[in-house]
Amino acid sequence: MKYTDPSGYIFGIGKFVKKHWRVIVAAVVTYVTYGYASEWAAGWAYAGTAANTVGNAVAAGAMAGAAGGATAGYLQTGSLRGTLRGAFSGAIAGAAGGYASFGSVGGWADAARRVGISALGGCGAGKASGGSCSKGAKLAVLAQAVSVSMEMYSNHKPTWKSADGEAVVKAKSDIGVHDSSVTNVGQSIEVDTVAYPDAESLVGRKLSSLNQSDIALLNNSGVSQSLVSWNNGAASFGLGTEYHLGALGNYVPGMNSMAVFHDYWMASQNLQNFGYLAGTIGVTLPINYIGLGTNYYNYLYRNMDD
């Protein structure tokens, strides 16, 4: 009986969606718009002809932020005033974010500069949304600080992307990530290619492509049959492996960077206990969303109702 859910919100997921769905919708609009805005801004006079410039990042960020902010402003208020306020605050936040997130972080001094730029953008966006400069700056600083910390730790920025590839065999190493674009959810099939060099040919192979001899090679190379085995003429994978959980992860926004960050964390401790792996997902997922600015943008958009 202790697992009943009288509120109707299973494990808090419903509450999260109810509270943040406007931000999620705006994030999707912003993410899609950013791709088109980047192409448009690349040919714009201010950004120059090169696509990979700071000017292009600022322009694309401003346009994408304005599109997402306008969407959120309309959803939040249903009024033209709210739509315009959302577009204006989103443009400010997006421009600052585009600058602060451009390129790779080049050390602590660069990270501090990016956080400082985010603070200025957060202040302006906070006031433009109808809130306060102080609160906007604090939340923007928190988001950017988490973002650069994740990047410096895992070499990957937080992103709204879901994993876009199928689970693969990985080389056991200190980074835990063979390919950052594939699913990294659950226990990975990792093989020690130093101790078992013959298994190196399997690294990067999709799990669904493995045949009986491939799986025999993995099992003879130290990979437990609880993770992968050959049964009744077909490959069989443990329920907690990326083969099964990855199908879910491919549909969860933000899962890609969260899973990469999680893999680095687990690999640094050389852990393969599924209970510990699953339990720590609940920690890394909100960290990833904070780095994506959900708290920050939620504050901006909620101001429009005040």
Q: Give Cβ neighbours of residue 181 (< 8 Å, ≥ 6 apart).
A: 163, 164, 165, 256
Answer with the residue of higher pLDDT: 30 or 287. 287
Please check the confidence at residue 216 and state whether its pLDDT lies above 90: yes
- For the cut 60, the answer to whether the pLDDT of residue 8 exceeds it is no
pLDDT of residue 185: 79
Helices in the chain by DSSP H: which ranges? 13-42, 54-77, 80-100, 108-128, 133-154, 212-219, 242-249, 255-268, 274-291, 294-303
> b vs e for 255-279, b when ≥16 Cβ sit within 10 Å of the residue's Cβ?
bbbbbbbbbbbbbeeeeeebeebee
- The separation between CA 293 and the C-alpha centre of its own chain, rounded to angstroms, equals 11
**Does the pLDDT of residue 227 top 70, yes or no?**
yes
Q: Given this model, what pLDDT does residue 144 score? A: 95
Q: For 32-45, what is each residue's pLDDT tens digit?
A: 666 666 666 656 54
Q: What is the pLDDT of residues 161-201, one digit of tens each?
A: 887 778 899 988 767 777 777 777 778 898 999 999 999 99
Whole-structure pTM value: 0.78
Count Cα atoms within 13 angstroms, Cβ side, for 83. Answer: 7
**pLDDT for residue 7 is more than 80:** no
Predicted confidence at residue 23, as pLDDT, reads 66
For the stretch 145-166, pLDDT in tens is 999 999 999 888 888 888 777 8
User: Which residues, at least 6 apart from 157, have a Cβ–Cβ distance to it below 8 Å?
Assistant: 101, 147, 150, 151, 257
25 in Cβ contact with 71 (< 8 Å): yes
Of 243, 244, 238, 191, residue with least CA distance to 217: 191
Where are the domains positioned within the chain?
Answer: 10-155+291-303, 170-289
Q: What is the mean pLDDT of the chain?
A: 82
Mean pLDDT of 67-82: 81
The confidence score (pLDDT) of residue 302 equals 80
Q: What is the largest CA-CA distance in the chain?
A: 66
φ and ψ at residue 195, rounded to 5 degrees: -75, -30
Mean per-residue pLDDT for 77-85?
84
Q: What is the pLDDT at residue 27?
A: 67
- pLDDT tens profile 85-107: 888 998 899 899 888 888 889 89
Who contacts 188 (Cβ-Cβ below 8 Å, separation ≥6)?
167, 170, 176, 241, 242, 263
| Mean pLDDT computed over 251-259 | 84
Position 47 pLDDT exceeds 50: no
* Per-position DSSP letters for 206-259, written without gaps between them: BGGG--HHHHHHHHTTT--TTTEEEETTEEEE-TTBHHHHHHHHTTSTTHHHHH
Which of 98-107, 115-124, 264-273, 283-292 is the least confident region?
Answer: 264-273
Residue 16 has pLDDT above 70, yes or no: no
Write out the DSSP string of 162-175: PP-B--B-EE-SSS
- What pLDDT sits at residue 37? 63
Residue 225 has pLDDT above 90, yes or no: yes
